[in-house]
Chains A and B, each alone.
Chain A
Amino acid sequence: MSTSKQFCTFYVDGLFFGVEVLRVQEVIRFQDMTRVPLASNVVTGLINLRGQIVTAIDLRRRLALRERAPDKLPMNVVVRTDDGAVSLLVDEIGDVLEVDERTYERPPETLTGVARQLVRGVYKLKGQLLLIIDTEQTVDLHEKNGAAHSKVA
Chain B
Amino acid sequence: MGMNETLQQDLIKDLLVESHEGLDRFDRELLTLEQGRGGGDTMNTIFRVIHTLKGTAGCLGLANIEKTAHCGENLLSLLREAKIHTTPEMITTLLALSDALRGMLRTLEATGTDGKADHSVLLARLEELQKIPAAPEKSAASANAAFGLFADEDASTSVAPAAVADPAPASAAFGIYAEETTSTPTTPPIPLPATTTNPATPEPVATAEVSTKPSVADNAIRVDVGQLDKVMNLVGELVLARNQIVANTTNFDQAALLTAAQRLNIITTELQESVMKTRMQPIGNVWAKFPRVVRDVSHELGKKVRLIMAGQSTELDRTIIEAIKDPLTHIVRNSIDHGIESPEKRRGAGKSEEGLLSLRAYHEGGQVNIEIMDDGGGINLERVKAKAVSQNLITAEQSARLSEREAMNLIFLPGLSTAEKISNVSGRGVGMDVVKTNIEKIGGSIDLQTQAGQGTTLKIKIPLTLAIIPALIVTSGGDRYAIPQVSLLELVRLEGEQARKGIEQLYGSPVYRLRGRLLPLAYLNQQFNVSSPKGKTDADAQDEVVNIIVLQADGRPFGLVVDEINDTEEIVVKPLGKQLKGISSFAGATIMGDGKVALILDVVGFAQHANVVSETRDRAMLEDKTRNQDNADLRQTLLLFSVGSDHRMAIPLDMAARLEEFAPSLIEHTGAQEVVQYRGQILPLIRVADYVAGQASLGSTESETLQVVVYSEKGRSVGLIVGRINDIVNEAVTVRRRTNAKGLLGSIVVQNKVTDLLDVPGLIRTADPSFYEPAA
Q: How far is the CA of A141 from the CA of B577 in the complex (A)?
A: 11
A109 contacts partner chain B, Cβ-Cβ < 8 Å: no
Give the chain A neighbours of B213 by CB distance below 8 A.
none
A1 contacts partner chain B, Cβ-Cβ < 8 Å: no
Partner of A43, one of B527, B575, B580: B580
Q: How far is the CA of A96 from the CA of B528 in the complex (A)?
A: 40
Q: Are B530 and A40 in contact (CB under 8 A)?
A: no
Give the chain B neighbours of A118 by CB distance below 8 A.
none
Q: Nearest Cβ distance between residue B295 and chain A, in whole angstroms?
A: 45
B497 contacts partner chain A, Cβ-Cβ < 8 Å: no
Q: Nearest Cβ distance between residue B577 and chain A, in whole angstroms?
A: 4
Partner of A48, one of B527, B576, B596: B596
Q: Are B530 and A86 in contact (CB under 8 A)?
A: no
A35 contacts partner chain B, Cβ-Cβ < 8 Å: yes
Partner of A55, one of B580, B591, B598: B580
Q: How far is the CA of A35 from the CA of B575 in the complex (A)?
A: 16
Which of B204-212, B581-589, B722-730 binds A? B581-589
Q: Are B589 and A46 in contact (CB under 8 A)?
A: yes
Q: Are A83 and B578 in contact (CB under 8 A)?
A: yes
Q: How far is the CA of A98 from the CA of B479 in the complex (A)?
A: 43
Q: Are A37 and B528 in contact (CB under 8 A)?
A: yes
Q: Are A142 and B596 in contact (CB under 8 A)?
A: no
Instruction: Tell me whether A36 and B578 are in contact in the complex, defined as CB-CB below 8 angstroms, given that A48-B591, A48-B595, A51-B591 are known contacts.
Output: no
Q: Nearest Cβ distance between residue A39 and chain B, in whole angstroms?
A: 6
Q: A28-64: which residues lie under 8 A (CB-CB) from chain B?
A: 32-40, 42-43, 45-48, 51-55, 57
B529 contacts partner chain A, Cβ-Cβ < 8 Å: yes
Q: Nearest Cβ distance between residue A35 and chain B, in whole angstroms?
A: 7
A-B pairs under 8 A by CB, number = 70
* Closest B residue, CB atoms, query A45: B597
A84 contacts partner chain B, Cβ-Cβ < 8 Å: yes
Q: Are A34 and B599 in contact (CB under 8 A)?
A: yes
Give the chain B neighbours of A46 by CB distance below 8 A.
576, 589, 597, 599
Q: Are A139 and B528 in contact (CB under 8 A)?
A: no
Partner of B528, one of A32, A38, A53, A142: A38
Q: Are A36 and B591 in contact (CB under 8 A)?
A: no
Give the chain B neighbours of A84 by CB distance below 8 A.
577
Q: Are A32 and B596 in contact (CB under 8 A)?
A: yes
Q: How far is the CA of A57 from the CA of B578 in the complex (A)?
A: 12
Give the chain A neighbours of B598 by CB distance below 8 A.
34
Q: Nearest Cβ distance between residue A86 and chain B, in whole angstroms?
A: 6
Instruction: Tell me whether A35 and B579 are in contact in the complex, defined as CB-CB below 8 angstroms, given that A48-B596, A51-B591, A53-B597 are known contacts.
Output: no
Q: Are B530 and A53 in contact (CB under 8 A)?
A: no
Q: How far is the CA of A47 from the CA of B577 in the complex (A)?
A: 12
14 further contact pairs, Cβ within 8 A, besides A36-B599, A52-B574, A83-B577: A35-B530, A36-B580, A36-B586, A37-B528, A37-B529, A39-B583, A40-B579, A46-B599, A48-B595, A53-B574, A53-B597, A83-B578, A140-B578, A142-B578
Q: Nearest Cβ distance between residue B478 and chain A, in whole angstroms?
A: 9
B609 contacts partner chain A, Cβ-Cβ < 8 Å: yes
Give the chain A neighbours of B530 by CB distance below 8 A.
35, 37
* Closest A residue, CB atoms, query B528: A37
Q: Are B591 and A141 in contact (CB under 8 A)?
A: no
Give the chain A neighbours of B609 by CB distance below 8 A.
38
Q: Nearest Cβ distance between residue A60 and chain B, in whole angstroms?
A: 16
Closest 6 CB pairs of A and B: A37-B528, A55-B577, A34-B597, A46-B597, A83-B578, A53-B574
Q: Are B583 and A53 in contact (CB under 8 A)?
A: no
Q: How far is the CA of A54 from the CA of B576 in the complex (A)?
A: 8
Could you list 29 A-B pairs, sorted by A, with CB under 8 Å? A32-B596, A33-B597, A34-B589, A34-B596, A34-B597, A34-B598, A36-B583, A36-B586, A37-B527, A37-B528, A37-B530, A37-B585, A37-B599, A38-B583, A38-B585, A39-B583, A40-B579, A45-B597, A46-B576, A46-B597, A48-B597, A51-B591, A53-B574, A54-B577, A55-B577, A55-B580, A83-B578, A139-B578, A140-B579
Interface centre among A32, A38, A84, A141, by most B CB within 10 Å? A38
Partner of B589, one of A37, A53, A141: A53
Q: Are A53 and B576 in contact (CB under 8 A)?
A: yes
* Closest A residue, CB atoms, query B586: A36
Q: How far is the CA of A43 from the CA of B574 in the complex (A)?
A: 18
Give the chain B neighbours of A57 by CB distance below 8 A.
579
* Closest A residue, CB atoms, query B477: A37
Give the chain B neighbours of A42 by CB distance below 8 A.
579
Q: Are A35 and B479 in contact (CB under 8 A)?
A: yes
Q: How far is the CA of A55 from the CA of B583 in the complex (A)?
A: 14
Q: How far is the CA of A51 from the CA of B571 in the complex (A)?
A: 12
Give the chain B neighbours of A40 by CB distance below 8 A.
579
Q: How far is the CA of A133 from the CA of B598 in the complex (A)?
A: 30
Give the chain A neighbours of B589 by CB distance below 8 A.
34, 46, 53
Q: Nearest Cβ distance between residue B268 and chain A, in whole angstroms?
A: 12
Q: A101-126: which residues lie under 8 A (CB-CB) from chain B?
A: none
Give the chain B neighbours of A36 by CB distance below 8 A.
580, 583, 586, 599
Instruction: Tell me whether A55 and B596 are in contact in the complex, defined as CB-CB below 8 angstroms, given that A38-B609, A48-B591 are known contacts.
Output: no
Q: How far is the CA of A45 from the CA of B529 in the complex (A)?
A: 15
Binary A-proximity of B601-613 (CB < 8 A = 1, otherwise 0): 0000000010000
Q: Are B595 and A43 in contact (CB under 8 A)?
A: no
Q: How far is the CA of A139 from the CA of B518 in the complex (A)?
A: 44
Q: How far is the CA of A83 from the CA of B577 in the complex (A)?
A: 7
Q: Nearest Cβ distance between residue A106 and chain B, in whole angstroms?
A: 27
Give the chain B neighbours of A43 by CB distance below 8 A.
579-580
